[in-house]
Every structure is written in C-alpha cells, then in structure tokens.
C-alpha cells in the first residue's frame, strides 16, 4: 500500500488569515416531508473545521450537495434550512446564497462581513457537478483563495466541488477528513495486532474487494450477513434459500485460497438463525446446517461466541456490515453481539458503513467505539484499497489558475 496516499496536507498547512476559504462539506442531511432536518450529525461533523477556519481569521465559503436534484433547481432541496441550522449551531452569522457560482455570488462572498460564514446553494443544481465538469469547478474556484475538503462521505466521487476544484487552488483536508484518513490509516498501515476485520451485509460482490484487500494486513476476518452464504456454499454446505451469488463462487474460492496462503484466518458462521421466509414476522429457529427451504437471516449463538472471542483478543478492529437482518428484532442478536464485543474490546475500533453505524447507534454503544466513520461508501472504498478522488486531489500539484 502506497503510504503517500494518506499524507494529505492539513488545514494548518494553509495560510488562512483574511483568505476566502472555499470548503466542501457534506451537509446532505435527512429531512422530513415538511423540510425539517431530522438529523444534523453531518452539519455538526464539520463544525470543528469551520471554527478552526474562523479562529485563524479565514472567511469560510461552504459548499455542499443535498439529495439528488440531477442538475435541476428543486425548491425542496435548497440549502436554506441547513443555513438556519448552521446559524443556530455556530451562533455566527450565516449568509445563505441561492446560487453557487457567478458574478452575483462572487460579489456576495466579497461583501460578507468578517466572522460570517457563507453557504452556497446546493451544488447539484448544476448538471456538470456529478460529471466532474472542469468549467464548473473553475467557477467555484473563483470564490476562494484556498480550498479545503471536509466532505469525507463524498470523497469517493470525482465531482466538480469535491476533487476537480482542488486542481485550481492551494488545497488541504479539513479536520473531519483528516480524522477519517488517520483512522483508516491506523487500520491499514502497521496496525496494532491482532487486526480483526468483521464484514457483513447483503452482497458478497460488494465486499469481496474489501476481503481481498484486507487479507494481506489482517490476522482474521470474521464474516457474517448475507455475504457469508456464498462462502459456505463454496465450501460445499447447503445454504437453502439464503442469499447466494452463484456468479461469485469462483472468486470466493480464490479469495479463501489467497487468505490461506497469506496466513489470514477467514471465519464463517457455524450456526444460523433461520426462517421460512424473508419476513419480519417469520418464526426464527437455530440450526448448525441450513435445511433446504430455510433462509439464514442471522448468525447463531455459537458463532456469536466465537466471534466475540476473536474480537476480545484483537488490538485493532474494523467493522463494516451487519451480521443479519438487524432491522428486525428476531434477527438482530448476531449484530448486537458483535456491536457489544466491539464496544468492549480493549482495541482501536473503527466502524464504517451506514448499516453498521445504524446498528451501533440502535444498540446504544456508539460512544464506546473509537472511530465511527461518516462515510459508508467512502470507507468501503478505502478498505477495498481504492484511491478516493477527493483525497487524491489534495495530493496532486496544482495545474492551473482558475
């Protein structure tokens, strides 16, 4: 793994005094039908960066996407409610604009009083944003003297306001991005050993690149969730009607062979909570071999104990993906047991991925996890060994002036 990839420039490397600091944040918050923000975690996650910029006499100009307007201006996806919430949280003046580029926006940015925060309009109102349009990125670059990326959750996308704009301005990582990068670096580069990865979730095809990338660094990989049954099938077990991706069987066999060669233990469920149907009301029962006609929807008690023993021995733990259909109470115990074991581990613990984060929150152990990632897709790509455009862009030399 190329160590350089994580050596991102930091906020403190930039001279911010009196400068317009263009910041890509991820304020893609959930809203109810009336437009009220139902969870402001993503806004809070970037407060440290915003406050650091203000403390250094910088003039923050924030940009974000909200939802998927697909290049159209949608009233329901304006950032006005976000501007209001940001004002409440920071107790600073927030100048919310109704555009994100152009002469009027440039003027408004210049006119914003010192100590105020400017929030541009939803960048995805522009068609070119998700396509990484270079001209659009240049228009954003006119609004800042320097650029800061704090949108970890969007950094796996090569979008104009995430990665392309970094070509045109001196750039650095914000505090949130810096924290995320440091956490994954601690897992992927010289981790405290044993390093144990726990992988779950529905589709083995999504997670197999992560398994492959983690084999050289992990001491053990514990597998659960729907993805486990393609592994068990590859070993010749009956999996009944459980989730199976038959086209992945060969790749799974190769992955297991690679793990054996590298001395990385892959642990699979040895007992299962099964049901007759994929339904919340389906009656659960525990088996060691899955009968034909039954579906496995959670790992069984013996597997929970085996996994908890591995987690307790670990010095570094990374977890992505639930062990079963944790949304339904009858099939939650496996994910709950893993969440408890991770929370209790005397280890550096990282949890990433929307569902596993939801699980640790649901089970009330979030505060006992060392690092909870704010980016599901981005964290999965990092664990899969992929370069993230939003991070790579900070490492490249500037190519042109806007």
Among 11, 63, 83, 297, interactor with ligand AMP by CB under 6 A: 297
Q: Is 107 a catalytic residue?
A: no
Q: Is 203 a catalytic residue?
A: yes
Name the nearest CA neighbour of 228 among 293, 322, 330, 319: 322
Q: How far apart are alpha carbons 145 and 20 in whole angstroms?
A: 5
Name, in order, each residue with C-beta under 8 angstroms of 348's C-beta and a sequence gap of 6 or more: 186, 187, 191, 192, 315, 316, 317, 370, 371
**Which is closer to ligand AMP, CB of 249 or CB of 395?**
249
DSSP code for 222? E
Q: Which of residues 239-278 bind ligand AMP (CB under 6 A)?
A: 243
Nearest distance from residue 23's CB to ligand AMP, in Å? 29
Among 324, 352, 389, 390, interactor with ligand AMP by CB under 6 A: 324
Residue number closest to ligand AMP, CB atom: 201
Query: 140 φ, ψ to 5°?
Result: -65, -40
Among 322, 375, 389, 390, interactor with ligand AMP by CB under 6 A: 322
Q: How far apart are alpha carbons 148 and 146 in whole angstroms?
A: 7
Nearest distance from residue 181's CB to ligand AMP, in Å? 22
Of 142, 203, 313, 386, the active-site residue reads: 203
Name the nearest CA neighbour of 396 among 60, 170, 239: 170
Q: How far apart are alpha carbons 99 and 354 in whole angstroms?
A: 30
Of 80, 354, 385, 386, the active-site residue reads: 354
Q: Which of residues 187-226 bind ligand AMP (CB under 6 A)?
A: 201-203, 206, 225-226
Work out whether 363 is an interface residue with ligand AMP (CB under 6 A). Answer: no
Query: 109 φ, ψ to 5°?
Result: -65, -45
Q: Is 42 a catalytic residue?
A: yes
Name, in order, each residue with C-beta under 8 angstroms of 91's C-beta and a sequence gap of 6 or more: none
Of 42, 78, 186, 340, the active-site residue reads: 42
HSE-CB for 101 with a 13 A CA cutoff: 18
Among 84, 106, 133, 327, interactor with ligand AMP by CB under 6 A: 327
Q: Is 68 a catalytic residue?
A: no
Nearest distance from residue 355's CB to ligand AMP, in Å? 4
**Which is closer to ligand AMP, CB of 79 or CB of 297?**
297
Percent helix, strand and coil across the chain, each to the nearest 5: 40, 15, 45
How many residues sit in the footprint of ligand AMP (CB under 6 A)? Answer: 16
**Which is closer to ligand AMP, CB of 98 or CB of 327?**
327
Element (H, E) at 150: none
Enumerate binding residues for ligand AMP (CB under 6 A). Answer: 201-203, 206, 225-226, 243, 296-297, 321-322, 324-325, 327, 353, 355
- Catalytic residues, by residue number, are 42, 203, 354, 377
């Amino acid at each position: 793994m190329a160590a350089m990839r994580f050596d991102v420039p930091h906020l403190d490397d930039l001279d911010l005094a009196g400068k317009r600091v263009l910041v890509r944040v991820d304020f893609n918050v959930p809203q109810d039908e009336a437009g009220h923000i139902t969870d402001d975690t993503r806004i809070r996650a970037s407060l440290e960066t915003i406050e650091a910029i203000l403390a250094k006499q910088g003039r923050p100009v924030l940009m974000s996407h909200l939802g998927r307007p697909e290049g159209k201006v949608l009233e329901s996806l304006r950032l006005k409610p976000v501007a209001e919430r940001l004002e409440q949280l920071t107790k600073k003046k927030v100048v919310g604009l109704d555009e994100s580029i152009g002469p009027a926006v440039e003027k408004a940015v210049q006119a914003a009083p010192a100590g105020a925060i400017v929030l541009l309009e939803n960048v995805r109102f522009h068609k070119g944003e998700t396509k990484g349009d270079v001209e659009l990125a240049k228009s954003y670059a006119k609004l800042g003297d320097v650029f800061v990326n704090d949108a970890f959750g969007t950094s796996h996308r090569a979008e104009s306001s995430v990665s392309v704009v970094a070509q045109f301005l001196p750039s650095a990582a914000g505090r949130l991005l810096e924290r995320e990068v440091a956490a994954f670096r601690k897992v992927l580069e010289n981790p405290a050993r044993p390093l144990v990865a726990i992988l779950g979730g529905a589709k083995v095809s999504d997670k197999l690149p992560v398994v492959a990338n983690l084999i050289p660094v992990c001491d053990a990989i514990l597998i659960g969730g729907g993805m486990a049954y393609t592994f068990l099938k590859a070993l010749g077990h009956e999996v009944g009607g459980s989730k199976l991706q038959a086209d992945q069987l060969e790749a799974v066999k190769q992955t297991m062979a690679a793990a054996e060669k590298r001395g990385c233990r892959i642990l699979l469920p040895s007992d299962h909570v099964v049901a007759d149907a994929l339904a919340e009301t389906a009656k659960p029962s525990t088996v060691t071999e899955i009968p034909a006609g039954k579906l496995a929807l959670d790992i069984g008690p013996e597997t929970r104990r085996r996994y908890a023993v591995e987690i307790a021995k670990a010095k570094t733990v990374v977890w992505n993906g639930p062990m079963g259909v944790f949304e339904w109470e009858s099939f939650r115990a496996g994910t709950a047991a893993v969440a408890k074991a991770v929370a209790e581990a005397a280890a550096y613990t990282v949890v990433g991925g929307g569902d596993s984060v939801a699980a640790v929150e649901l089970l009330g152990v979030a505060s006992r996890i060392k690092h909870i990632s704010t980016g599901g897709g981005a964290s999965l790509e990092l664990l899969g060994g992929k370069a993230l455009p939003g991070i790579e862009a900070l490492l490249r030399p500037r190519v042109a002036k806007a």
